[in-house]
Amino acid sequence: MDPLRQLMSACEQGDVRSAEAMLDEGLPVDSTDDMGNSPLTVTAANGHDQAFDYDPTEKNKHKFMVQTMFAPDGKIDNQDQLWRDVSPDKLMDSKLKCVLDPTGNSVASSPAPIKEEKSTSSTDSSSPREEDKIQQYIEEIRQLKAEKKRLEENEVRLRKVAISDTVSQTPTTMPGNVESTSSGLPPYLYLIICLIIGVLIGKVIL
């Protein structure tokens, strides 16, 4: 089986490690046609990484650019140099799209995990917002508790001040009342008594 068929078989079976190993290291295999004949030999299958835009929602989907060419006769000392020096018209390009299943399930059941992955990603993206709201609610509750505690402390302090004021004012007023009651009669009573005494003295004299 040639490298391209091995790679396609690994992708169909969801064997991610084998596919990556074939692309990274290369496997020396013989190329045969449908009849089992071997008209030529493929020396190796080499893989080269290329820059691409990574999409987390499509992390199980891979696109491969497969380039093949007929190797020249004789011994090949440096395969990398051979690929660099080959002219583009001698290269045969083919694109391979694979959907890899890390769980090892069949390809037919692969759409379900993809949908689950999308829904999971949507829940993951929405979970930070919910966490932020929860943290905001917790902070508001803490502020309300602190405000309630502060008001209770102020109320207790005001009660203590009011009680201390009433206690301090009560002893000062009591002696005044006692002193006023024990000081004697009002002045106008003295005048009335003097008048009565004067009238009596006048009658006696007359």
Task: Determine which of 1-10, 65-74, 194-203 has the lowest per-residue pLDDT on average.
Answer: 1-10
Separation of alpha carbons 179 and 182, rounded Å: 5
Neighbours of 27 (CB within 10 A): 14
Which residue type does 147 have? E
Tell me the C-alpha to C-alpha distance, in Å, between residue 101 and each of 44, 125, 182: 26, 23, 108
Q: Is residue 131 part of a domain?
A: yes
Question: Which domain-ending residue is among 58, 76, 109?
Answer: 109
Residues 116 and 161 both lie in one domain: yes
Mean pLDDT of 28-57: 52
- Tell me the C-alpha distance between 132 and 92, whole Å: 54
Residue 188 in domain? no
pLDDT at 151 over 70: yes
Evaluate whether residue 44 is within a structural domain: yes
* Position 89 pLDDT exceeds 80: yes
Both 7 and 99 in one domain: the answer is yes
Give the orientation angle of helix 16-24 with respect to helix 3-12, to 10 degrees: 150
Domain annotation covers residue 125: yes
Report whether pLDDT(93) > 70: yes
Q: What is the pLDDT of residue 37?
A: 45
Any domain includes 17:
yes
Whole-number pLDDT of residue 160: 87
Write out pLDDT tens, residues 130-143.
888 888 888 888 89
Evaluate whether residue 204 is within a structural domain. no
Instruction: Give me the domain span that covers residue 129.
Output: 112-169
Q: How many domains does the chain have?
A: 2
Q: How does the average pLDDT of the chain come out, rounded? A: 69
- Which pLDDT score is estimated for 49? 55
Judge if 137 and 152 occupy the same domain.
yes
pLDDT at 58 (0 to 100): 67
- Domain assignment present for 148: yes
Residues of the chain with pLDDT > 70: what percent? 49
121: Cβ–Cβ under 8 A, 6 or more apart, which residues? 56, 57
pLDDT digits over 164-192, tens only? 877 776 655 555 554 555 456 677 777 88
Does residue 155 sit in the same domain as residue 105?
no
Q: What is the mean pLDDT of residues 151-167?
A: 85
Q: For 98, left (φ over 0), alpha (ψ -120 to 50), or beta?
A: beta
Average pLDDT of the segment spanning 26-55: 51
Residue 164 and residue 120 share a domain: yes
Give the Cα separation of 3 and 16 in Å (integer). 15
Mean pLDDT of 56-80: 74
Residues 65 and 88 in one domain: yes
177 occurs within a structural domain: no
Comparing 26 with 81, which gets the higher pLDDT? 81
For the stretch 13-24, pLDDT in tens is 666 667 667 666
Domain match, 71 and 153 both: no
